Amino acid sequence: MTTRTLALVLFDTASAEWLIEKAAETALGYDAHLIALHPFNPVLFTSGIGAEPMIVSTMLEWEETESKTIRTQFEEVVRRNGLQGEYRAQTGLYGAERFLLSSTRAADMVILGATAENSPDDRVLAHRLIREIGRPALILGKKTGLPTPPKQIVVGWTETREATRAVHDMTGLAAPGAQITLISLHARASEVEPGLTAREDLAAALDRAGFSVTTTDRPATAEERAEDLVRCALEIDADLLVTGAFGHSQVYDMLVGAVTRDLLESAPLPVLMSR
């Protein structure tokens, strides 16, 4: 995959203040076209069973005003950095998920900001986008960015569709000859499979593609997996953490916890997710 089209999701002016600059650095690093997307997230006040027309009109006006502010911020960053970019805002007060899905289908990668400070509705929308879009998502935090193709990469490996897709998506982002660590986390020692496995096949394939690959196993409970992946990445000063996204049902994620959700909220380093 050649990364030439990036879609950037901007939920509000607060995240736009730092995320636009981070996304612009990534676009410059890959010489990519940057498309900024601002979905509307209405709060409806109702009288009886219907929304008051005046309230709906006021909310739409507020969303459009915020959108103009974000557009000004985005276009200034694009101009200053000499980027090719465009801004798209949702039209109408409803249909944020449909707007984002339609606008990101053609992107090589979608960029999102860490969600810890977003509203609950925006966090849910971010989850839905990652689950449904079929494109890799790069999660950036206030203190983390990906200005150049990563040379040191940690992959959280499980033998799943999601992790497999994430690894192959990653190869289009990695610097030539990048150092890649494939890490498998196990709750019990009996889960470690000896001999030739899909992970070893993958390591050999990445080696043939010109990357330098190592494999490792670590103990970790389900609740500790996000923390342990981050710890491993920080130990080797990784530029990027790669993982499959939402490999369980939504009910499982809600009751037991989800690595994807935890990484989305904090993003202590750039995280690439695929599903």
Residue 204 sits in the same domain as residue 116: no
Is the pLDDT score of 251 beyond 90? no
pLDDT at 192: 59
Cα separation, 234 vs 230, whole angstroms: 6
Whole-number pLDDT of residue 36:
98
The C-alpha atoms of residue 175 and residue 51 are separated, in whole angstroms, by: 52
Alpha carbon separation from 9 to 35, 212, 220, 266 (Å, rounded) = 9, 33, 32, 17
DSSP string, 141-153: -TT----S--SEE
Domain boundary among 140, 166, 197: 140
Residues 172 and 244 in one domain: yes
Give the pLDDT band of residue 113 (cuts 50, 70, 90).
very high
What pLDDT was estimated at residue 256? 37
Residue 92 structure tokens: 């109408």
Average pLDDT of the segment spanning 150-173: 95
**At residue 195, does pLDDT exceed 80?**
no
Flag whether pLDDT at 196 surpasses 90: no
248 pLDDT higher than 80: no
Bridge-based pairing of strands 5-9 and 33-38 is parallel
- Whether residue 159 lies inside any domain: the answer is yes
> Is 206 a residue whose pLDDT tops 80?
yes
Note whether 46 and 98 are within 8 A (CB). no
Contact 59, 92 (CB under 8 A): no
- 136 or 193: whose pLDDT is higher? 136
Residues 211 and 126 grouped into a single domain: no
CA atoms of 111 and 209, how far apart (whole Å) = 26
Residue 147 lies in a domain: no
Is residue 146 assigned to a domain?
Answer: no
**161 compared with 187, residue with greater pLDDT:** 161
CA 198 to chain centre: 25
Indicate whether 204 and 119 sit together in one domain.
no
| Higher local confidence (pLDDT), 199 or 226 | 199
Strand pairing class (179-186; 33-38) = unpaired
Is the per-residue pLDDT at 254 higher than 50?
A: no
Lowest mean pLDDT among 5-9, 22-26, 231-235, 250-254: 250-254
Last residue of a domain, one of 120, 140, 160: 140
Q: Which of 109, 106, 96, 199 is nearest to 150 (CA)?
A: 109
- Longest alpha-carbon distance in the chain: 67
Q: Mark whether 53 and 73 lie in a shared domain.
A: yes
Least reliable range by pLDDT among 77-86, 143-152, 241-250: 241-250
Task: Find the CATH number of the domain harbouring 77.
Answer: 3.40.50.620
Least confident of 154-158, 188-192, 225-229, 269-273: 188-192
Residue 186 and residue 118 share a domain: no
39/166 same-domain check: no
Domains identified in the chain, total number: 2
The answer to whether residue 192 is domain-embedded is: yes
| Cβ contact 169:240 at 8 Å | no
For 22-25, the CB contacts below 8 A with 24+ separation are 22/111, 22/113, 22/140, 22/144, 22/145, 22/146, 23/111, 23/140, 24/77, 24/78, 24/81, 24/83, 25/145, 25/146, 25/147
In a domain, 53, yes or no: yes
Domain boundary, last residue among 140, 167, 191: 140
Domain assignment of residue 107, yes or no: yes
For residues 234 and 183, membership in a common domain is answered with yes
Q: Which range, of 17-31, 48-62, 175-189, averages the lowest pLDDT? A: 48-62
Residue 145 lies in a domain: no
Higher pLDDT, 246 or 81: 81
Same-domain check for residues 80 and 134: yes
pLDDT tens for 217-234 read: 988 776 778 888 999 999
Identify whether residues 126 and 171 lie together within a single domain.
no
Query: Could you list the residue range(s) of the whole structural domain that residue 247 is in?
Result: 152-274
Q: Which two tokens stand for residue 219?
A: 């103990």
More confident residue, 145 or 224: 145
Q: Pairing mode, if any, of strands 50-51 and 46-47?
A: antiparallel
Q: Are residues 127 and 180 in the same domain?
A: no
228 part of a folded domain: yes
Examine the domain organization and report whether 262 and 223 are in the same domain. yes
